[in-house]
Structure 1
Amino acid sequence: MRSCSRCDFQQGNAHTLWRSITEQLFSLPDSCLLYPAHDYTGRTVTSVAEEKAFNARLGGAATERDFVGHMEAMTLPHPHKIAEALPGNLRSGKPRDASASAPSWAPLQRSYAGLPELPPSWVAEHREALTLLDVRSAEEFHGPDCQVAGSLLLPLPELEQCSGEIPAGKPVVVCHSGSRSALATHQLLKAGHSQVANLRGGLARCGDEGYPLEDIVA
C-alpha cells in the first residue's frame, strides 16, 4: 500500500514489476479493493483508485522511467539469510532431487540451502580445468575487493542474455559469495548447466586461506 515490493533480489526486475502493476493490477476497476499480504504500519485495505492516485512510487503522473530510477537507487541492505532462503523459494519449497546430490565431476558439498559448493583448495588445484565466473558489477569487479585471476566477468543482470560467453566443456565455479552467486548458480543449473558450483566462502575465504587474489585497481 502506497509502495511496492523491492526488486533487487530473487530475479527481481523493476521493469517487470512496473508492467505487472500497471497492466494487470491497474486494469481492474477503480473501485476494486486490494488487501496487502503485509503492511508495516497496520493498514489492511486500499483500492485501485487510491494506489493510482497516491502510491508514492508509481501513482499520479509517474512514468516507467521514474519508477525504475527510484527502485534502482534504493540500495537497501539484503535481509539476513537471504542467500539460504532464495534457492528454497525458487524451488517453491520442493525437496531437492536426490539424484543430483552425488555428481561425479567434483567433490561437491551442499550449502544449508542445498546449492553445490567447492572449497578453495580444490578450485585452486584444478584451476586450469575450470571457468571461474564472477557475477558482480563491473565497478565491483575492478574495485578494491580483488578477484580471482583469470575469472570471467558476467554481471548477474546480464547472465541469462550473455550465458553464451561461458566456455563450453568446462565446469563453472561462481567465485563470489552471497545472494547473487546463489542466484547465478541456480540460474545456470536451471538452464541445463550440470557442472556448476559456488566457491565455498567466496573471495573472502580464498584470501583467508592464502590463495592469491588479483588487485586490478588502476
Structure 2
Amino acid sequence: MLIFRQLFDPQSSTYTYLLGDAVSGEALLIDPVFEHVRRDTALLRELGLDLVATVDTHVHADHVTGAWLLKTGSGSRIMLSEASAAVNADRLLKHGDQVSFGSRHLDVRATPGHTSGCLTLVLDDQRMAFTGDSLLIRGCGRTDFQQGSPGLLYRSVQEQILSLPSDCLLYPGHDYRGLTVTSVAEEKRFNPRLGGDVNESDFAGYMNHLGLPHPRLMDIAVPANLRCGQPDQAASMPQDPSWAPLTCSFSGVWEIQPAALEERIAGGRANDIQIIDVREPAEFSDALGHIPGARLLPLSQLAAHSADIDKARPIVTVCRSGARSAQATVLLQKSGFSLVANLAGGMLRWRAEALPFEQGTN
C-alpha cells in the first residue's frame, strides 16, 4: 500500500510530498523545506517510516531545501537533477532514471524550461506525477531566470507531462490559491497557458510579457539550494531544546517521555522542573494519582494564573492521557513560556510504566 501525504509551507506556498511503502517502511520526501524539517521528521516517526531519500524537483528560488538537514538527521540520500550543477548531492538524476522506495519507484522525466534542471517525478503506475514548477494548477513556472526558456518549457510539458494518461493526478510544487491537485485531462483542456489550442508561439508570447519581480528570497535561496540546503554557518541551524531529551510531534508539541522525566526527578533535579498537572482537583487525588511534586493548576485556570509560574524554569504539563496537557503547552507558549513540554501519554503512561505516584491531597 502507498502512504501519501501532501504538506504545505504557508510562507512560500510550497508543497512537500511524502511517499512511503507500507510494507518495507521506506519513504521519500519531494521538495522538503528547511524550516519544516522538524515537522517532516515527526510525521515520518509517527507513521513508522524510514526516510531513504529526498528529491528536489529543481533548484528553488523562493525557499531553502531541507535536504541537507534531513540527511544529517536520518542519513537519507540527497537527489536532484544532474543539470542543476548543485554540490553535496548523493545522486544526480537524469531522464529515464528511477528512484526506489521499497517495492515502489518514481520514474524521472527531465522537464526543463522553468529552470534548466527541472524534473517531473512519475509514480510507477502513472496514477500520480509530481511536476515541481514545470506545470502548476492552471499555470506554470516562470521562465525568465535560472536558464529558463519558454520554448523548452512548452515542449517539456507537452511531451513529458500532458502525454501521461488523462486520469493521472498532477501535484504541483506550489499553489498560491489553496488548490491541491489537478489532472492531465483538466490541464489539457483548461490550462490558459498550455492547454487547448495554445501553440509554442502563443506560449512564448505570454511568458515573455509576465513582468514579474524576482522572488524575495532568491539571493539567499538559490546559493543555499546549490549546496543542497547546507547552511553557511551552524548558527542558522534550527536548535532543539537542550533542557531535556524532547521530541516534537507532528502536531508541533514538544514531548518528554515518562522515563526521561522520572530519571530527572530521581537524579535530584526535580526542583529544576515545574510539573503542572492540568486536570481537575478530583482527578488529581483519585486512583490514578499524580506525580510527586506536581502542582495542580486546572486547564480552565491556567491562563489566569500564568503570572504565578516561573518562566525561567522548564515546565512539564501533565493530564490523564496527554491531550489536555498538550493544549496547556500551546496556551503557555502563547503566554511567552518557551521552556515547555507535554508528558507523553499522561498519567496513563506514567502508571503503565510503574513509575512513582501519589494519591490524596489536592
**Alignment TM-score, normalising by the size of structure 1:** 0.51
Q: Secondary structure at the match of 2:303?
A: helix
Match of 1:179 in 2: 323
Deviation at 1:113, TM superposition (A): 1.2
In the TM superposition, structure 1's runs of 4+ consecutive aligned residues that sit over 6 Å from their partners are: 98-101
Using a 3 Å threshold, how does the CA distance of structure 1 residues 99 and 171 change in structure 2: closer, same or farther?
A: farther
Q: Distance in 1 between matches of 2:238 and 2:317?
A: 18
Q: Distance in 1 between matches of 2:254 and 2:350?
A: 17
Larger radius of gyration: 2
Match of 1:200 in 2: 344
Q: Distance in 1 between matches of 2:277 and 2:317?
A: 6
Q: Distance in 1 between matches of 2:334 and 2:238?
A: 12
**In the alignment, structure 1 residue 139 sits paired with structure 2 residue 282:** yes
Q: Secondary structure at the match of 1:113?
A: coil
Using a 3 Å threshold, how does the CA distance of structure 1 residues 103 and 168 change in structure 2: closer, same or farther?
A: closer
Q: CA offsets, 1:12-47, max 9 Å, x none? A: xxxxxxxxxxxxxxxxxxxxxxxxxxxxxxxxxxxx
Deviation at 1:164, TM superposition (A): 2.2
Match of 1:191 in 2: 335
Provide structure 2 residue ranges, at least 5 long, that are not aligned to the other structure: 1-235
Q: Distance in 1 between matches of 2:252 and 2:357?
A: 27
- 8 A contact 1:144–1:217 mirrored in 2: no
Q: CA offsets, 1:73-120, max 9 Å, x none? A: xxxxxxxxxxxxxxxxxxxxxxxxx97661222221122312000011
Counterpart amino acid of residue 159 in structure 1 = L
Quick check: which one's strand share is greater? Answer: 2
Q: How many residues align?
A: 121
Counterpart amino acid of residue 215 in structure 1 = Q
Deviation at 1:217, TM superposition (A): 6.8
Match of 1:123 in 2: 261
Deviation at 1:149, TM superposition (A): 1.1
Q: Distance in 1 between matches of 2:237 and 2:303?
A: 26
**In the alignment, structure 1 residue 107 sits paired with structure 2 residue 245:** yes
Q: CA offsets, 1:41-77, max 9 Å, x none? A: xxxxxxxxxxxxxxxxxxxxxxxxxxxxxxxxxxxxx
**In the alignment, structure 1 residue 160 sits paired with structure 2 residue 303:** yes
Provide structure 1 residue ranges, at least 5 long, that are not aligned to the other structure: 1-97
Match of 1:213 in 2: 357
Q: Secondary structure at the match of 1:161?
A: coil
Using a 3 Å threshold, how does the CA distance of structure 1 residues 137 and 101 change in structure 2: closer, same or farther?
A: farther
Quick check: which one's helix share is greater? Answer: 1
Deviation at 1:153, TM superposition (A): 0.6
Deviation at 1:168, TM superposition (A): 4.3
Counterpart amino acid of residue 173 in structure 1 = V
Using a 3 Å threshold, how does the CA distance of structure 1 residues 108 and 101 change in structure 2: closer, same or farther?
A: farther
Q: Distance in 2 between matches of 1:100 and 1:179?
A: 26
